[in-house]
Amino acid sequence: MILIQSISQDYSTSVVIQWLCDTNEDFIRLNNKSFIDQITFSENIFRIKINDKIIDLSQFKSYWFRRGSFDFESKLNQNVEMKIPIEGYLKGENLIIKEAIDHYLLKNVKSIGNYKTSQNNKIIACEVAKNMGFKIPDFIITTEKIELLKFYKKHPQIISKSLYGLPGFLANNVDYSAKTRIIELSDIKDCTDNFGVSLFQQYVEKKIELRVFFLNDKFYPSAIFSQNDVQTKIDFRNYNKDKPNRVVPYKLPDDVIEKLKKINQELALNTGSYDLILTPKNEYYFLEVNPIGQFAQVSLPCNYYLEKEIAKELSNA
C-alpha cells in the first residue's frame, strides 16, 4: 500500500496515480480536505481510519508527500460556540499529530518528500547554497527606506521578491500577485520611511533560467529561454500564452550537480525543484529550491516522464 498526501486539484498527483494503476499498485490518496476519522497512536499501535478504511500505518510500503496536509480539527470542531475560542488550540494539537505521523512514516517507510522539509525557508536555503560554493544574488531584508536606497545604489538593478511562496490575491479589484519585479528609483521615492518587511535582491543578468527537478539525487534539468521576451525577462511566470518561452532539456556540469547533492543532504531533501540562473558569463547562480514545486512544466516539454519515475520509486519499495 502506498500513501499519497496531496491536494485535490493537483494534476501531477493524478498522473502519478494513473501510472500506479497501470501496474496495479494499491494506494491511498489523502487530500487537504481528507478527514481522518479515527486515530490511535501509541508505541506499538499506529492506526488511522480514513474514507471508511482502517489502515495500520505499518502496512504502507511507501509515502509520497506531494503537498497539502490532512486534517482532524475541522471534524472535531463542530461545536458552534466553541469554534473560535478553541480553534487555535486544536490547530496546535493537530500539528503535533501531523508531525508525528510524518516522522513515523519518514523513519519507517520509503518516503518521497515530507511535511517537515516542505516548509522551506528561502533565506536559509540561500545561505546553505552559498556555503556549498554557489553564487547567490546579494539580498537585503528590510523595512527601512534608507537601507533600501543604499542597497539600490550598490547594484545596477534590483528586484523585489516575496519571502514565502507565491502570493496572489484580489483586493479592491486590484490583482496583488507578487511576482518578481524590478525596483526603480521612483518606486523607492514613493515608499514611506518605514514599510512592511520586504526582500530585495540584486538583479542578476541571465542567459537562461534553469529549473531542475530532482528525485533521490537524480537530476532532471530544463532550460528556460526567457530572455528574448520582455514579458518573461524578469519573471518567466508572466507566461506569454501566444509565444511561450522555449523549455528544453539541459545538461548540468558535474560540479554543479555535486553542489546540489550537498544542498539536498544539508536540507534533508529527496525531491523538489531547484531554480538556477546561468549568466551570460556562464556562471551558475542559486535562486531557490522548492520542495513541492510544480514539475509538470519540466516533465512535459522535456519528455522526462517524471510522474512515471515517481510512481516507479513508490512501487519499488
Partner 1 sequence: MKTKNRYYKLFADCFAVKGYSRSVICDITRKKFDFIPNSLYEIIIDEVIDIFSYHNILDDESTEIFNEYIDFLLREEYIYEILDISEKDNYPAIDLKFDYPAKISNAVIDYNGDYDLFVKSICQLELMNCNFLIVRFLIPVKIIEIENILLLINDSIIFSIDIIVDYSIDYNEECMLEMMLKYPRINIVTIFSSPTTSHNKTILNNGMGHLIFSQKEYNKDEILKIKGENNFVINIKLFTESYNYNNFFHKKVFISEIGDVKNSPFAKIIFGNIQNNSLENIINHTDFKKIWYVKKDFIEVCKDCEFRYMCVDNRNPVQKKVNEWYFEDECHYNPYINKWNFDEQNLTFPAFNTTLL
Interface residue with partner 1 among 2, 3, 4, 15 (CB under 8 A) is 15
How many whole angstroms separate alpha carbon 93 and alpha carbon 217? 34
Q: Is 295 in the site for partner 1 (CB under 8 A)?
A: no
294, 173, 180: which is closest to 235 by C-alpha? 180
Among 11, 21, 168, 283, binds partner 1 (CB under 8 A): 21
Contact with partner 1 (CB under 8 A) among 2, 4, 5, 19: 19
Amino acid at 49: K
Residue 205 binds to partner 1 (criterion: CB under 8 A):
no
Least Cβ distance, residue 279 to partner 1 (angstroms)? 12
| Long-range contacts, 46-54 (Cβ 8 Å, 24+) | 46/101, 46/104, 48/101, 53/28
Binding residue (CB under 8 A) for partner 1 from 139, 235, 305, 312: 305
The answer to whether 180 touches 137, Cβ cutoff 8 Å, is: no
When asked if residue 276 is in the footprint of partner 1 (CB under 8 A), the reply is: no
- From residue 289, alpha-carbon distances to 60, 151, 208 in Å are 28, 24, 17
Least gap, CB of 156 to partner 1 (angstroms): 22
Site for partner 1 in 22-81 (CB under 8 A): 22
**Mask: binding to partner 1, 206-225, rule CB under 8 A, as x and -?**
-----------------x-x
Whole-angstrom distance, CA of residue 233 vs CA of residue 227? 5
What is the torsion angle, in degrees rounded to the nearest 10, for the CA atoms of residue 108, residue 112, residue 118 and residue 121?
Answer: 100
Binding partner 1 by CB under 8 A: which of 302, 306, 310, 314?
302
Task: Return d(Cα 272, Cα 213) in angstroms, integer.
Answer: 6
Minimum Å gap between C-beta 17 and partner 1 is: 9
Q: Cα–Cα distance between 243 and 227 in angstroms, integer?
A: 13
Q: Is the CB of 17 or the CB of 128 nearer to partner 1?
A: 17
Residue 220 and residue 306: Cα distance in Å, rounded? 8
Binders in 232-261 for partner 1, by CB under 8 A: 243-251
In the complex with partner 1, the residue whose CB is nearer, 18 or 143, is: 18
Of 22 and 147, the one with the shorter C-beta distance to partner 1 is: 22
The three cell numbers of residue 174 are: 486590484
Is the Cβ of residue 21 or residue 146 nearer to partner 1 in the bound state? Answer: 21
Answer whether 200's CB lies under 8 Å from 159's CB.
yes
Give the binding range for partner 1 (CB under 8 A) out of 18-26, 63-71, 104-112, 172-180: 18-26
- Count of residues near partner 1 by CB under 8 A: 25
Residue 283 to residues 53, 242, 276, 314: CA-CA distances in angstroms? 53, 31, 10, 36
Residue number with CB closer to partner 1 (221 or 291): 221
Compute the distance between CA of residue 276 and CA of residue 285 in angstroms, rounded to an integer.
6
Minimum CB separation of residue 119 from partner 1 in Å reads 31
Establish if 146 lies at the interface with partner 1 (CB under 8 A): no
Q: Closest approach of Cβ 316 to partner 1, in Å?
A: 16
Per-position DSSP letters for 98-145, written without gaps between them? HHHHHHHHHHHSEEES-HHHHS--HHHHHHHHHHTT-B---EEEEEEH
Which of 18, 40, 108, 131 forms a contact with partner 1 (CB under 8 A)? 18
Where does this chain bind partner 1 (CB under 8 A)?
15, 18-19, 21-22, 223, 225, 228, 243-251, 300-305, 308, 311
